[in-house]
């Protein structure tokens, strides 16, 4: 087990769902951007680094049927499965490190809220983008949310790499065009604030 995996397994083994800074009861910005990307309920959507996020619950309620959630932590995914109940059997739960994962299918929407910004090593970011390119075909949409340039420098005791839409565009490369970017002020469960940016890209091609 890698150090990265051990860190996140420990976080989710020792903290409740609402005791982590990134907890959102309703992930409104993510939902709005996914709907803008693909309103078709047959769209294949993957939530990368989804952990115990309630995004998958909301997407199921919206009628999306082809959902996957990827995370390093099996503990985090177990929290989400138990919360969702019977409908969890319709979701593809993937325990993997996105930098070494081998995608087995193509997704219409790749969503990542607060996973990419933990990749402070350029080699890890390159490995992430390589997997993204394997998993998202021409016309596919990519939504990446990170701490904004004026956001925190650390999260969960780990350093982060803050981004804006321009730095993300540079990481993804010219085959991805920026469609929209939004700013969000996230309120943690203990009512501190964190500046996030959400950027949505489309892979060029038909």
pLDDT, tens digit, 9 for 90 and up, residues 147-183: 999 988 887 778 899 999 999 999 999 999 999 999 9
- Which of residues 64 and 190 earns the better pLDDT score? 64
- Which of residues 11 and 39 earns the better pLDDT score? 39
pLDDT in the model for residue 192: 84
With a cut of 60, say whether residue 18 has pLDDT above it: no
Domain ranges of the chain: 3-14+28-203
pLDDT in the model for residue 187: 86
pLDDT in the model for residue 4: 64
80: its two tokens = 């989400």
pLDDT averaged over the chain? 90
With a cut of 70, say whether residue 20 has pLDDT above it: no
pLDDT in the model for residue 158: 81
With a cut of 70, say whether residue 1 has pLDDT above it: no
With a cut of 70, say whether residue 9 has pLDDT above it: no
**Which CATH superfamily does the domain covering 3-14+28-203 fall into?**
Vaccinia Virus protein VP39 (3.40.50.150)
Q: Are 50 and 110 in contact (CB under 8 A)?
A: no
Section 117-125 average pLDDT = 96
With a cut of 60, say whether residue 71 has pLDDT above it: yes
């Amino acid at each position: 087990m890698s150090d990265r995996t051990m860190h996140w397994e420990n976080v989710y083994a020792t903290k409740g769902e609402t005791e982590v800074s990134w907890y959102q009861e309703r992930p409104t910005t993510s939902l709005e951007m996914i709907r803008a990307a693909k309103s078709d309920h047959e769209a294949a959507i993957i939530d990368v680094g989804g952990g115990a996020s309630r995004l998958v619950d909301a997407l199921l309620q919206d009628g999306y049927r082809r959902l996957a959630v990827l995370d390093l932590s099996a503990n985090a995914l177990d929290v989400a499965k138990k919360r969702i109940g019977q409908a969890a059997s319709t979701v593809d739960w993937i325990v993997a490190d996105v930098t070494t994962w081998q995608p087995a299918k193509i997704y219409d929407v790749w969503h990542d809220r607060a996973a990419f910004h933990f990749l402070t090593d350029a080699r890890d970011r390159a490995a992430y983008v390589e997997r993204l390119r394997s998993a998202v075909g021409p016309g596919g949409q990519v939504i990446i949310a990170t701490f904004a340039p004026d956001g925190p420098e650390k999260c969960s005791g780990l350093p982060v790499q803050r981004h804006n839409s321009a730095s993300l565009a540079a990481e993804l490369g010219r085959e991805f065009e920026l469609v929209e970017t939004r700013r969000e002020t996230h309120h943690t469960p203990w009512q501190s604030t964190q500046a996030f940016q959400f950027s949505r890209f489309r892979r060029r091609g038909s």
